[in-house]
Amino acid sequence: MTSSDRPDALTELSLGTRTALPETLRVLVKALPQEAWAAHPNFGGMTRFWLERHAAFRQLLDAIAADAGAAAAGDVAPDAYAPRLYRLASTLLGELHGHHSIEDAHYFPQIRQLVPSVARGFDLLEADHRDLDARLHGFAGEVNTLLQAAQAGTLGSAQVARFAEKVRGFESLLDRHLVDEEEIVIPALLKLSGG
């Protein structure tokens, strides 16, 4: 019995708990490690696009965290911070939701069918999406609270500092998901022709 077959495996593999993909889901990335992706003959528009989207999500969250840190430190006034937070958070939320919806409805089912050896990996990624969706709703609520406080003139540095901590925590979870998704999806795309 492998660790991913044990009854407690779902807890061990949940996004908030795992530190890496289990070995049973790293079959393709072991055969095709990340350092070989760009040189692979099937590295094309789809794989490049996927990696670029992930890089954009990481950059957006990093900008949100950096801005919150600057606002908490008093380096940015609330009236300058709030519009930027609104723009960055709206972009992140919309883009992530759209990306995950397309993956779950279109890409994951197709790749799962073409590369059945990693089907369980797609189950894990879809579970991540449900987890992240719930966390994104909470994130949106926190952003709205900050924006309302800024509009009312009551936004304080302590409130922004707490938000900055939460953003860093979410950033870590999202990165775990993105890394794991890349280790499943990119080698699968490269294995297929025209990746």
Q: Which two tokens stand for residue 55?
A: 């890089």
Q: What pLDDT is stored for residue 11 in this prediction?
A: 60
Both structure tokens of 125: 């990624």
The reported pLDDT for the residue numbered 103 is 93
**pLDDT at position 4, please?**
44
Q: What's the full length of the chain, in residues?
A: 195
Separation CA 150–CA 147 (nearest Å): 5
For the residues of 16-41, what is the DSSP string, one character each?
Answer: TT-SS--GGG-HHHHHS-GGGTTTST
pLDDT lower than 50: segments of the chain: 1-8
pLDDT given at position 48: 93
Q: For residue 115, is it left (φ>0), alpha (ψ between -120 and 50) or beta?
A: beta
State phi, psi for 72 to the nearest 5 degrees: -65, -35
Q: Judge if pTM exceeds 0.85.
A: yes
Domains and CATH numbers, the chain: 26-191 (1.20.120)
In angstroms, the Cα distances linking 49 to 44, 53, 102, 115, 193 are 8, 6, 13, 20, 16
